[in-house]
Structure formats: C-alpha cells, structure tokens
C-alpha cells in the first residue's frame, strides 16, 4: 500500500533508518519492517515485516552495500538480517549474534567498521564488517568509558574524528579516528550541561549528537533540566568547545536531532514535547527558533 504522510509501522517501534542510497526505509519494533521510497514524491510503499525474536531491541543500521540489516538487542547483542535487492528483509540461517549487550549500533561512513555502544556496560565495541558474508569480527581491545554511558556516535566529514555522546555523565568525547582499523584514540571530553543546570547523572537517558555538513559545528541533546540543545564549535583539529545552549520552553528531554541536507535548519524532536525547527546561523552555528510541529517524536532522519 502506498500512502502519503502516515504509514503503518510495527508495534512498539523504537527506531528507524534508511539505506545509504535513500531507496529504502527500515523500522524496528516487535517486528522489523521495510518500506520502498518513491523518489519523485517520497511516498512510502510497505514491502514486508519479519519477526526479530529479540526481547530487548534497541537499534538498527544498514550496511552501505545494502546487503545486510544489523539489529541490536540490549540482552543478546547484534543480529544480522539479510536484504534482498528489492529491499525486503530476510533472516538468514546462522545469523550473526554477538554476546555483548549493545544499545546502539552505527556503521562508520565507509561501512567497514560497525560500532556497538553499550550504555549500561560503559563500553564502545568495534567490529570489522565482512559485507560478503554479513559477519562481524570484534576488534580488541574495546574502548572503556567508565561511568560515562556511551549512547551515540557521529563522525566528522573528514572521517578523521569521531564523537561519542555519553548519557550517564552528560558529556561529549572527541576521538582521533583511524578509518582503516576503526581505532579510537586521544579522547578529549567536555561537559554538555549549562552552568548552573541540574544535571541528571547516572542513567541511560535519551540523547543525540549530529555534526554539521560543514564540519564546523556540532549539536547534542541532553537530559539535564527540562532538556536542551548544546551548541559546540569544532576546531580545525576536530575538538569540541561548547558555545551555547538552546533552551526552549517545550523541551522536555529532547532526544532526536537532524540537520537538513542544505545545512540551514536543525530539527529537534522529543517524546514528551514536540518537533521543533531552528535556523542555523551560518557564522557561529547558534540557533533561532522557527516553528513547532508534531508531538512525540523520538527519531528523525532526512532522505537524500
């Protein structure tokens, strides 16, 4: 069925992602569902749904070759589902299953390394990915982040720096990144909360981090106070400096961010409040409120 505006998705949907070419969309809930994207008008056509057999599902990622859909589970680890050329999902026999509890998974831009972030266990896992067979080989040692709660990872456009948002201690850490080996080194951590704010520390709450296409500014959401967006400048070496906080009265635990492809606007969604749009200042990256939209948004993505 093709429809515009609203599509039926799996029960208890938690996350969604798109293929790198923008042709397909995948939604994770009690089942995982696939949708084809019609390029001319961005209408969605439901393709199929597959049982995941996961009990504590948390995230998903499509490999850039569009052969595999990786699902993460906070109890069992990472599972590989196959993708047919028509975009439909199939669970192959002997699906990859890691033993680590992973709350979020993200491919590096080259699709060679899959990162698994364990907020509960305070570890960032790295896996070399074999796109021919859909298999993972853990790269050791993993990256410990004691008491931090790593929750999201994003990459600088140069692919020389990676950024990890941590929920438990409300920080952002920049790492030097080796795209060949997936090595994260030379961490530099900064606090995200505004001075004088009541920080909500010690638990795995919502949050998100995105890097502007220019590579000169980054944004992060936190769970402190009523919710805020932290604005950070990015130095030529890729390091972060907080330059401001956007507090808007409708924020109540903002937990989703997306920058439009032109780099002009930042969209902020949260499950308790509503989707809000901000204009990005091209000089310093600071935000100006534009409009308010649909309620209860906890995941955002632009199609190319």
Residue 172 is predicted with a pLDDT of: 96
Q: What is the pLDDT of residues 158-206, one digit of tens each?
A: 999 999 999 998 999 999 999 989 999 999 999 998 776 665 667 887 7
Question: Would 6-140 and 145-304 be classified into the same CATH topology?
Answer: yes
Is residue 3 very low, low, confident or very high in pLDDT (cuts 50, 70, 90)? very low
What is the CATH code for 6-140? 2.130.10.10
Q: Is the pLDDT of residue 276 over 90?
A: no
* Average pLDDT of span 49-77: 90
Compute the distance between CA of residue 81 and CA of residue 99 in angstroms, rounded to an integer.
Answer: 17
Residue 94 is predicted with a pLDDT of: 64
Q: What is the pLDDT of residues 117-141, one digit of tens each?
A: 999 999 999 999 999 888 899 998 9
CA atoms within 13 A on the CB side of 87: 22
Model pTM score: 0.92
CA dihedral 191, 107, 265, 262 (to 10 degrees): 140
Q: What is the DSSP letter of 271?
A: S
Compute the distance between CA of residue 202 and CA of residue 222 in angstroms, rounded to an integer.
Answer: 13
CATH match of 145-304 with 2.130.10.10 = yes
129 touches 107 (CB < 8 A):
yes
Residue 56 is predicted with a pLDDT of: 87
Q: How far is CA 8 from CA 2, 12, 48, 280, in A?
A: 11, 12, 12, 33
Q: How far is CA 78 from CA 24, 96, 98, 103, 287, in A?
A: 21, 7, 5, 9, 37
Residue 175 is predicted with a pLDDT of: 98
Q: How far is CA 267 from the centre of its chain?
A: 14
Q: What is the pLDDT of residues 29-62, one digit of tens each?
A: 989 999 999 877 778 999 999 998 888 888 999 9
Q: Is the pLDDT of residue 2 over 70?
A: no
Structure tokens given for 114 = 């899959």
Q: What is the pLDDT of residues 139-154, one digit of tens each?
A: 989 999 999 999 999 9
Q: Where are the domains of the chain?
A: 6-140, 145-304
Per-position DSSP letters for 213-261, written without gaps between them: TTSSEEEEEE-STT-EEEEEEE-TTS-EEEEEEE--TT-SS--EEEE-T
Query: Of 228, 111, 218, 128, which is closest to residue 173 (Cα–Cα)?
Result: 218
């Amino acid at each position: 069925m093709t429809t515009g505006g609203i599509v039926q998705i799996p029960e208890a949907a938690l996350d969604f992602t798109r293929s790198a070419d923008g042709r397909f969309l995948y939604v994770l809930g009690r089942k995982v569902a696939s949708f084809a994207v019609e390029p001319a008008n961005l209408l969605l056509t439901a393709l199929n749904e597959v049982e995941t057999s996961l009990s504590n599902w948390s995230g998903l990622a499509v490999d850039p070759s569009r052969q595999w859909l990786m699902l993460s589970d906070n109890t069992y680890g990472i599972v590989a589902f196959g993708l047919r050329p028509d975009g439909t999902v199939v669970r192959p026999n002997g699906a990859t299953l890691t033993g680590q509890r992973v709350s979020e998974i993200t491919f590096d831009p080259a699709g060679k390394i899959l990162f698994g972030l364990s907020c509960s266990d305070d570890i960032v896992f790295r896996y070399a990915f074999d796109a021919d067979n859909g298999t993972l080989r853990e790269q050791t040692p993993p990256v410990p982040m004691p008491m931090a709660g790593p929750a999201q990872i994003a990459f600088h456009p140069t692919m020389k720096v990676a950024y990890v948002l941590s929920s438990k201690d409300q920080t952002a850490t920049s790492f030097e990144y080796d795209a060949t080996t997936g090595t994260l080194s030379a961490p530099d951590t900064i606090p995200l909360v505004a001075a004088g704010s009541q920080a909500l520390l010690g638990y795995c709450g919502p949050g998100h981090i995105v890097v502007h296409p220019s590579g000169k500014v980054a944004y992060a959401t936190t769970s402190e106070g009523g919710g805020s967006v932290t604005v950070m400048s990015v130095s030529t070496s890729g390091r972060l400096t907080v330059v401001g906080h956007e507090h808007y009265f409708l924020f109540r635990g903002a937990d989703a961010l997306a920058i439009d492809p032109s780099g002009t606007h930042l969209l902020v969604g949260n499950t308790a409040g509503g989707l809000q749009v901000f204009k990005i200042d091209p000089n310093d990256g600071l935000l100006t409120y534009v409009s308010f939209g649909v309620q209860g948004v906890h995941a955002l993505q632009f199609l190319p």
